[in-house]
Chain A
Amino acid sequence: MADVTKMVGKAIKRREDPKLIQGRGTFLDDIKLPGMLHAAVVRSPYAHARIKRIDVSRALAYPGVVAVFTGEDMMDINPMPAAWQAGGVKSNAVTPRALAVGKVTHVGDGVALVVAEDRYTARDAVDLVEVEYEPLPAVVDARKATEPGAPLLHEVAPNNICMEWECGSKEKADAAIAGAEVVVKEEIINQRLIPTPMETRGCVARYDVATGEFTLWMTSQAPHVHRLLLTAFVFGIPETKLRCIAPNVGGGFGQKIFCYADYAFTMWAARKLGRPVKYVEDRSENYKASTHGRDHVTEVEIAGTRDGKVTGLRVKTWANLGGYFSTIAGGIPTTLYGRITTGVYKIPAAHVKVWGVYTNTAMVDAYRGAGRPEASYLIERMMDRFAAEIGMDPAEVRRRNFIQPQDFPYDNGLGMLPYDSGNYEPALNKALQMVDYENFRKEQAEARKQGRYLGLGISSYVEICGVAPSAWIGAVGQGWGAGLFESANVRVHLTGKVVVTTGSLPHGQGVETTFAQIVADELGVPYEDVTIEWGDTLAAPFGYGTYGSRSLAVGGTAVHKSVQKIKEKAKIIAAHMLEAAPEDMVFENGKAYVKGSPDKAKTLAEVALQASLAYSLPSGVEPFLDETTYYDPPNCTFPFGTHIAIVEVDTDTGKVDLKRYVAVDDVGNIINPLIVEGQLHGGIAQGVAQALYEHGYYDEDGELRSSNLLEYAVPTAAMLPRYELGHTVTPSPVNPMGVKGAGEAGTIASAQAVMNAVIDALSPFGIKHLQMPATPEKVWRAIQNSRQMGQAAD
């Protein structure tokens, strides 16, 4: 029997691409419905203000304007839901309404909605809506917002504190720090970032007056979740009255997970006006009114011995939530941050305290990595600080504290699920070898003699992927207000063609290609015969969507399991066709046969035809090969690795030149190396961007100073390096394919690799820490400051 060519493990080019490279994709703003109206939003120029009066009369009189609505008009629908509140503690969650009522809490807060015949007219009329505000004092810094006398955003949240959460053992951490040989203390700011998918967010809502059913096309990473939240919580209508469709989605990075006001007001207006309504935010609106990421202020102490053992970690973090509570904002700085702050190290005593705080800024929620980059940055910066303090090589300090292979599954004592698997030292060693570490140190010493400042930064990381077992993450444990399994339906049609519907929602990850590779191999059918369907609540039975690096580990495993069920049923039907006993059958390379008699086999297509015609089936067997799986993972997966950055700092200008970037990642078994590498590249780029360029910056008055792409430094091709990738492979024991996840690894690992390199380069100046981003001005000032203090090496 001829071997079927194996697809898994091959770097095949993506099936998603032909339409995208021809401009034939369908993105949200490409959708045009008959009679469609266009919506535009009047947004607050103030960070904090009472709304005294709104006069819509001039806007309403403008030719082409169909209606103008305010928040008061939309009181018949509920505020957005708070779907993930921090586990085990009380949350003073105040979520946004479709439009602000009474007061605004950040610049860009929506105040009124203009609906017009075309896009330009709607924008014209926005300027004609007169809003009288009473400005209030604003606060933008999370720690300052909790201090006495700070402006209060919401009455229900005293001192602007939404939640106060902790993990680990305070007693143990206090004792470890009190009795330590060495304690290093630092204030670490993980600055605010703006996710910036290249496609901004938007939606088109249609309401069918005859049936009372909505259809919502949306830039969504999770259409089933959006359907659930918008119907059950916001509109109070049956879930079945809304169909959500995600067309091609132009990047998400977390920002397209959440339930935004615009979905609600667009639906509301479509119902009210009986015509379809489109809303697409422009880039400035995306920056002012869609979610941001990170924004932590942290006070941290690390304790250890002079011979390099870390003995304790104590963390206090003020996590900025913005002006309201975004959909899953509660879980990001708690479960996905606090519980993994000890990283890849065995630290016997750790305690993390987190305050989630309202400020007069755009809402903060999950952004690529979501909590884990903040945790990884914190511990990896502190490992370097500790190494410098005791005068030990940073690679050696890491080695001395790694969780060892025999320790897995490993309980880190912070309430995280046990790390499934890991072998950290080989990844570190491989990365060191790739950069020729020993030689680099010599080169660095030589360069310093010539007044050139090279630096090398190491980042050894672990992340949480494949989120998550429902029983663990759910309301009674981590506070997530739902399950977190994934669905997959696999059907083999009469003609032998295979159709898969998945609850995963690809928006760049290549899920169609990857899933088709898996199915083709498992069923032994041509790759071209497998179609993957997604993105429509009418297609997949249910889905939690794509985020948290979960598509392959959870969604892919659901597909894999459905395929196994198909094979089992195929064996039963083939046994009937061959007049054999089902238990004697094997399924291999697309054929079912009696063990030992592969020459008398029934192909999957033959079995599918038999099953579809259903003229002759074994007793009690239903027609059709059609199997659905709801896969709830028993654990998360924990990819890891070591990244190393090499930089040169120009001490005259402060410019950081990222000369090399080496990444060794262990993402478990790899289905498509081309796609995995692409995910890692893009992830690394976003972490490098945090280290060197990007800052979602608010001034003291709450004005967003980086409110568009002129001012927010998304890096161009010339600002990023070539990435040199290496892998180790430690298959995950959690799922049958041994896969883990790769979408966030690059981002979680990279910022601290670059910052550790920058600080290493600047160490001759006595500089021990710099807050990100390491812009030329910041670096130059630090050098000048050091020279004035007489600490300069040159």
Chain B
Amino acid sequence: MAEKVRISVNVNGVQHEHEVEPRQLLVYYLRETLGLTGTHVGCDTSQCGACTVNVDGKAVKSCTMFAVQADGSRVTTIEGLAKDGNYHPVQEGFWEKHGLQCGFCTPGMIMAAVDLLNKNPNPSEGEIRHALEGNLCRCTGYQNIVLAIQYAAAKLRGEPVTGAVADD
């Protein structure tokens, strides 16, 4: 076992200092050391995206990164997304548009969507679908996830949005 390394990471606005094993993945640092269990592990090959978080402004699969690599970084997890008790528009969109069922992929899906909308405030349906290629959902068939992100995009652009309605 290699010697532990001291890291300092800002997670959801709180500065944390810990001694970690160099091989500890960021996702397990978040989940087990910090107790932020909203970031999930759904695979072992970095395919599913359930562990997506934001590191220094970019969406990152936290299973592809060691905790030591996050030393000095600012990390936002799903727990840090709502501000002052208000949902982020993407969270709101997922709720309004039934963009989740079991909810396991949801935190990663939301974090990936936030990243997309940061880069592209007005994505087409095709752009949304392609932007989500790193995130798997087994429940929804993605249609309502697309609607959720379109809802959030409209809201972030300051346009009117419609809440929960059935499709037909």
Q: Does B associate with A?
A: yes
- Residues on A close to B: CB < 8 A? 11-14, 16-18, 20-27, 29-30, 32, 63, 119-120, 196-200, 248-253, 282-284, 507-510, 673-675, 677-679, 681-686, 708-710, 714, 716-718, 720, 722-723, 725-727, 746
A-B contact pairs, 22 of them (CB 8 A): A11-B165, A17-B95, A22-B91, A23-B39, A24-B38, A24-B79, A26-B37, A120-B23, A198-B48, A198-B136, A199-B40, A199-B102, A251-B102, A282-B43, A673-B166, A677-B144, A682-B101, A686-B138, A708-B43, A716-B133, A716-B135, A722-B143
Name the interface residues of B55-84: CB closer than 8 Å to any CB of A: 77-79, 81-82
Rounded to whole Å, the gap between the CB of A774 and the closest CB of chain B is 19
Q: Are B104 and A199 in contact (CB under 8 A)?
A: yes
Q: Of all chain B residues, which has the CB nearest A675?
A: B98
Given the interface pairs A21-B91, A23-B77, A681-B140, the reply to whether A510 lies near B45 with Cβ below 8 Å is no
Give which listed residue, B44, B96, B103, B129, contacts A13 with CB less than 8 A. B96
Contact B142 A720 (CB under 8 A): yes
Q: Which chain B residue shows the least CB distance to A24?
A: B38
Given contacts A251-B139, A682-B138, A682-B140, contact A23 B79 (CB under 8 A): yes
Contact of B95 among A21, A197, A252 (CB under 8 A): A21
Complex Cα distance, B136 from A710, in Å, reads 12
Q: Is the CB of B103 within 8 A of A717?
A: no
Q: How far is the CA of A675 from the CA of B129 in the complex (A)?
A: 22
- Closest CB of chain A to B65's CB: distance in Å? 16
Hey, which chain B residues are within 8 Å of A709, CB to CB? 43, 45, 47-48, 136
Given contacts A12-B164, A682-B141, A710-B45, contact A22 B82 (CB under 8 A): yes
Does B136 contact A716, Cβ atoms closer than 8 Å?
A: yes
> How many B residues have CB within 8 A of the partner chain?
66
Residues of B within 8 A of A20 (CB): 100, 103, 106
Set B38, B104, B132, B164: member contacting A11, Cβ < 8 A: B164
Chain A residues with CB under 8 A of B23: 120
In the complex, chain B residues 97-139 whose Cβ is within 8 Å of any chain A Cβ: 98, 100-107, 110, 125-126, 128-130, 132-133, 135-139
Q: Does any Cβ of A come within 8 Å of B50's Cβ?
A: yes
A23–B36 CB distance below 8 A:
yes
- In the complex the two chains form, what is the Cα distance from A60 to B37 in whole Å? 30
Which of A197, A682, A708, A717 is B146 in contact with, Cβ under 8 Å? A717
Q: Are A717 and B101 in contact (CB under 8 A)?
A: no
Task: Identify which of A13, A22, A197, A200 contacts B98 (C-beta below 8 A).
Answer: A13
Q: How far is the CA of A197 from the CA of B37 in the complex (A)?
A: 18
Residues on B with beta carbons closer than 8 Å to the beta carbon of A250: 40, 42, 102-105
Whether the Cβ atoms of B40 and A13 lie closer than 8 Å is: no
> When chains A and B are docked, how far (Å) is the Cα of A252 from the Cα of B91?
24
Using CB atoms, name the residue of chain A closest to B103. A20
Contact A17 B103 (CB under 8 A): yes
Minimal beta-carbon separation of B127 from chain A (angstroms): 10
Residues of chain B contacted by A708 (CB below 8 angstroms): 43-45, 47
A29, chain B: closest CB distance, angstroms:
7
Supply 17 further A-B pairs (C-beta < 8 A) apart from A24-B38, A718-B130: A21-B94, A21-B100, A22-B81, A22-B87, A23-B107, A197-B138, A199-B42, A199-B104, A678-B101, A681-B140, A686-B138, A708-B43, A709-B48, A714-B136, A716-B133, A725-B168, A726-B168
Tell me whether A716 and B132 are in contact (CB under 8 A). yes
Q: How far is the CB of B82 from chain A (nearest CB, A)?
A: 6
Q: Which of A29, A119, A674, A710 has the most CB of B within 10 A?
A: A674
Chain B residues positioned under 8 Å from A23 (CB to CB): 36-39, 77-79, 107
B98 and A198 contacting across the interface, CB-CB below 8 Å: no
Tell whether, in the assembled complex, residue B101 and residue A510 are in contact, meaning their CB atoms are under 8 Å apart: yes
**Contact status B100-A198, CB under 8 Å:** no
Cβ-defined contact, B39 with A678, below 8 A: no
CA distance A24 to B107 in the complex (A): 10
Q: Is B145 an interface residue (CB 8 A)?
A: yes
In the bound complex, do residue A22 and residue B141 qualify as a contact, i.e. CB atoms below 8 Å apart? Answer: no
Inter-subunit contact B166/A674 (CB<8 Å) = yes
A200 adjacent to B102 (CB under 8 Å): no
Question: Are A198 and B38 in contact (CB-based, < 8 A)?
Answer: no
Bound: A683/B128 CA distance, A? 21
B41 within 8 A of A: yes
Residues of A within 8 A of B98 (CB): 13-14, 674-675, 677-678
Chain A residues with Cβ below 8 Å from B77 are: 23
Is B167's CB within 8 Å of the partner chain A? yes
Check B102–A22 contact: CB distance below 8 A. Answer: no
A335 to B23, CA, bound (A): 50
Given contacts A11-B166, A198-B50, A716-B133, are A25 and B140 in contact (CB under 8 A)?
no
| Cα–Cα distance between A677 and B143 once the two chains are bound (Å) | 10
